[in-house]
Structure 1
Amino acid sequence: MLRVHFTDADLAAVHVALRPDPLWETVLGLQQLTHPGQGPVVFARGGGTLRQSCPSAI
């Protein structure tokens, strides 16, 4: 098992984006469509319907 320990300084240096990045949203969305069953269960229901309506080139 690999254990990673973070110090208070490490956690204080973490920045959270103010809004989603459109490019990353697109990349991660395509990942969900092209690799069904590997993401969280919450995406399973709508992904099948959307996957059927997309061109086979995706």
Structure 2
Amino acid sequence: MTFIKFLTTERIKRSEFLLSDQKANVIDIAYDSGFSSKSWFYTFYYQKDCSGKQYVIL
């Protein structure tokens, strides 16, 4: 596993944990998790076949 892959995986884990709080703002979570923009954040969630907002609803 490359460092970038590891880092991305850890960022997604962190964001999933933070998204479990229904009161949290998705964009704030993206930045708090280490993503540099909302575009990067959504790109990785689209790879998982759901967006950050959809994850919150699930």
Scaled by the length of structure 2, the TM-score of the pair is 0.31
Greater share of residues in helix: 2
The answer to which structure, 1 or 2, has the higher relative contact order (CA under 8 A, 6+ apart) is 2
Rg larger for: 1
